[in-house]
Structure 1
Amino acid sequence: MERAIAHMDLDTFFVSCERLKNSGLEKQPVIIGGGDRGVVASCSYEARYFGVRSAMPIKMALRLCPEAKVIKGDMEYYSNMSHLVTEVIQEKVPVLEKASIDEFYLDLSGMDKFFGCFQWTNEIVDAVTKNTGLPISFALSTNKTVSKIGTGESKPTGRLEVKEANIQNFLNPLSIKKIPMVGPETFNLFSRLGVKTIKTLSEMPVDVLNQLVGKNGTVLWKKSHGIDETPVIPYSERKSISTEDTFAQDTIDILKIRSILSGMVEKLAYQLRQEKWLTSTVSVKIRYSNFDTEIKQCRIPYTSADHTLLKYVLELFKKVYTRRMRIRLIGVRFTGLVHGLHQMDLFEDTEEMISLYQTMDHIKNRFGSLSVGRASGFLK
């Protein structure tokens, strides 16, 4: 049976959400980001025309497009809209993978017998726009790589089908940058060799590719030929990461507990970033000396930033610790995970804060996860 994999991507998601609240932003250059020292979290196509891009410093973006309207952004609002879109799609498909806050894969294999996969995908997109007001693009093909590339080529509000027989002709003229796993370094490497299109890449011998980029050479060769067996992984809010600490002696030392919580959050947030997860739900668990156990949780905007998560964890601890009784165990859990690049709370953080996180993660990657951290996390 031929696979039918659709990729859906909400068009300029943050900007589109703001335009739902303020129709005056329609057809205007819009930048979502945080202040003069912050960076661009998202921007409209009108702003992109002037060269504005995500992660660009706001000051640079405004030099390129002085007329742009800068909006701080509301991650909680965007997260809620993302959940709404997810619910609409999830009701209509057998297998859904939520790849990020604004990106989805659908496995519609076998549904041609009943609906016609392209027609069915069109109806799902219509339902999303009708129920949320958000524009969304999609592409349908036989695998995740081709459908994702197709969505990028069809934007904005595009609807594209790339049939199996036409996959190579579709891919050949495109830049190798369109292949999801090709980053700036890989692109520059191949560009120096004169390899800039997928067609040229597909004609290279596999062993040569492996010599250039290691074991990823074979994967890259397959993708250049439109081959990708990666399954659509069913979305579930039950995915989680967590950690607990049972004390050698029950304690009522709140400063010590807050320090332990800080260390836990930093450890889990680092894991989120390494595995490219964002979390939308935080839980704090305590067990008293009499073994009574209580848990508090809250829904939060998608993030993997230590300082943002720690704020919620400490607030939850205040709410869950209601008795003047010694504590035996403390735990933190992050759930409601979706894959995505670390948002870094781009609406609030400065370039310096983002640089700090990147530097700390680099040090941890090289010397171990305990090599650097907040002082509060070491006060045990």
Structure 2
Amino acid sequence: MPALCRDCFGTGMAEEAPACPACGSRRLARHRELFTLVVAHVDCDAFYASVEKRDRPELAAKPVIVGGGRRGVVAACCYIARTTGVRSAMPMFKALRLCPDAVVIRPEMAKYAAAARQVRALMERLTPLVQPLSIDEAVLDLRGTEALHRAPPAVMLARFARSVEQEVGVTVSIGLAPNRLLAKLAAERDKPRGFAVLGAAEARDWLAPQPVTLLPGIGPALARRLEAAGFATLGQLAALDARDAARRFGEEGPGLAARARGEDARAVTPEREAKSISAETTFDADLREIAALEAPLWRMCEKLARRLREKDLAAGGIVLKLKTAGFALRTRNARLPAPTRLPETLFAAARPLLAKEADGTAFRLIGIGAQPLAPAEDADRGDLADPLAPKRAARWQAVEALRAKYGDAAVALGRGLKPRR
């Protein structure tokens, strides 16, 4: 059976050898299809926490949680913290109850983005077919690259993993498979610092006993619906033909059954079109009055405007997001007369929506998103109804230039200032 040493990248070893004969490493990858598979899923391990530990070596053996205050949520946590039950998106108060000794660090997105760009650059040395899925995750299509690199994709991926560790200071887990779905599932099998291979021949048998929640996209609600219909495992779902699947679960049924068999025809597309861009914040204490809610809404409008500019996009509409003290989610939408990326225009559209919801309810979170998105060149061009839009855009551009040079506190509008205590 083909084998690969993940430390010295040697491939010439006996089938049953427990360690690499060249370097003695036991980190061996073995699989019948090891040197023929070309789709890889790369996932950085506990990315935010790993970057923090890279920059603060004294935290290496300590549980680290990256997140907000006690009312915020866990953005990321290291594997030491995970052993106590802490998970991403968990409320901070619950995480700290499970892991009271954790070192809590506020997120620094600029630092994580810089590390992500380094990882992305290393991916693009392997292949131009890199599709980012999030800041710390991507899928790669390496077909046709063996002649270029004079090595199979598996070997190049092992080299890539070591380059990430040496040049970026974080680790990655890799899944190698014949399609995107199986590559993602493989990457989850051997974390952290993993390298797992899942071939088409074994996929269906491996998937069959797994719970339906293993498939990406099957959340608790759909899982309950499937279980109520008698489908608790992927094998049960995979046994349905397309007609039965459609009859039981509607349009999504045939696709669900195919994925339960490990089938996935999606191509790796380097440019993933953004569907929405948003910004949100969790309050230190619940807010009820509209006057108190407007200041954080304005700050989120500023943040959204900046993100739109960074992505070279504009907002064709806005989505207001509110979360009550009881964790109930409210969203309200409004279309804009013309695309914009000016915070004052975003705020003017969101404020009436907020006024309708500020009925005395206690809110713990507010956010605003841009949806649908529009091309940047269509934004704030001005018309008979709003001829001064270009001047406001120029003024905001000047504000952002000053902030980029002197910091965000260099220019501030009164409506965005936090009240003194």
TM-score with structure 1 setting the length: 0.66
SS, match of residue 359 in structure 1: strand
1:51 and 2:27 matched: no
Write the mapping of 1:287-366 to structure 2, written as runs, cut at 5 A. Answer: 310-311=301-302, 333-335=309-311, 358-360=329-331, 363-364=332-333
Residue-by-residue CA offset, 1:255-292 (whole Å, 9 max, x unaligned):
xxxxxxxxxxxxxxxx336xxx99xxxxxxxxxxxxxx
Write the mapping of 1:259-278 to structure 2, written as runs, cut at 5 A. Answer: 271-272=276-277
Shift of 1:67: 1.8
Counterpart residue number, 1:165? 201
For 2:177, the aligned partner's letter is: S
Counterpart residue number, 1:115? 151
For 1:335, the aligned partner's letter is: K
1:182 and 2:218 matched: yes
Shift of 1:62: 1.2
Counterpart residue number, 2:260? 224
Residue-by-residue CA offset, 1:143-183 (whole Å, 9 max, x unaligned):
00000011011211110112222222332232221211211
Note if contact 1:37-1:350 (Cα within 8 Å) is conserved in structure 2. Answer: no
Residue-by-residue CA offset, 1:94-117 (whole Å, 9 max, x unaligned):
311111100011101233554212
Say which one has the larger Rg.
2
Residue-by-residue CA offset, 1:353-377 (whole Å, 9 max, x unaligned):
9969x522xx33xxx546xx84465
Counterpart residue number, 2:96? 62
Note if contact 2:126-2:156 (Cα within 8 Å) is conserved in structure 1. Answer: no
CA distance in 1, matches of 2:209, 2:142: 28
Residue-by-residue CA offset, 1:161-214 (whole Å, 9 max, x unaligned):
122222223322322212112111111222334433222221234333323432
CA distance in 1, matches of 2:179, 2:117: 25
Counterpart residue number, 1:90? 124
Distance 1:130-1:100 versus aligned 2 partners, 3 A rule = same
For 2:63, the aligned partner's letter is: P
Is there any run of 5+ residues in structure 2 with no aligned partner, and where? 1-35, 281-295, 314-320, 337-345, 353-385, 387-421
CA distance in 2, matches of 1:150, 1:309: 38
CA distance in 1, matches of 2:253, 2:304: 42
SS, match of residue 66 in structure 2: strand
Counterpart residue number, 1:287? none
Residue-by-residue CA offset, 1:226-282 (whole Å, 9 max, x unaligned):
11110101148xx679xxxxxxxxxxxxxxxxxxxxxxxxxxxxx336xxx99xxxx
CA distance in 2, matches of 1:75, 1:3: 34
For 2:134, the aligned partner's letter is: S
CA distance in 1, matches of 2:109, 2:325: 18
Counterpart residue number, 1:201? 237
Shift of 1:87: 1.1
Note if contact 2:297-2:347 (Cα within 8 Å) is conserved in structure 1. Answer: no
SS, match of residue 91 in structure 1: helix
Counterpart residue number, 1:76? 110
CA distance in 2, matches of 1:33, 1:210: 42
Counterpart residue number, 1:340? none
Counterpart residue number, 2:53? 19
For 1:90, the aligned partner's letter is: E
Note if contact 1:209-1:217 (Cα within 8 Å) is conserved in structure 2. Answer: yes
Q: How many residues align structurally?
A: 286
CA distance in 2, matches of 1:71, 1:228: 39
Shift of 1:309: 6.0
Note if contact 2:39-2:183 (Cα within 8 Å) is conserved in structure 1. Answer: yes
SS, match of residue 214 in structure 1: helix
For 2:242, the aligned partner's letter is: V
1:42 and 2:76 matched: yes
SS, match of residue 217 in structure 2: coil
SS, match of residue 262 in structure 2: coil
Residue-by-residue CA offset, 1:22-49 (whole Å, 9 max, x unaligned):
1222232221110111111111222222
Note if contact 1:38-1:350 (Cα within 8 Å) is conserved in structure 2. Answer: no
Counterpart residue number, 2:41? 7
Counterpart residue number, 2:395? none
Residue-by-residue CA offset, 1:334-363 (whole Å, 9 max, x unaligned):
5279xxxxxxxxxxx99769969x522xx3
Distance 1:214-1:84 versus aligned 2 partners, 3 A rule = same
Distance 1:352-1:5 versus aligned 2 partners, 3 A rule = same
Note if contact 2:301-2:347 (Cα within 8 Å) is conserved in structure 1. Answer: no
For 1:165, the aligned partner's letter is: A
Is there any run of 5+ residues in structure 1 with no aligned partner, and where? 242-270, 279-304, 317-331, 338-348
1:126 pairs, out of 140, 147, 162, with: 162
Counterpart residue number, 1:31? 65
Higher relative contact order (CA 8 A, sep 6+): 1
Shift of 1:10: 0.2
1:210 and 2:181 matched: no
Question: Greater CA deviation, 60-69 or 131-140?
Answer: 60-69
1:234 pairs, out of 270, 276, 287, with: 270
CA distance in 1, matches of 2:325, 2:121: 34
Distance 1:92-1:111 versus aligned 2 partners, 3 A rule = closer
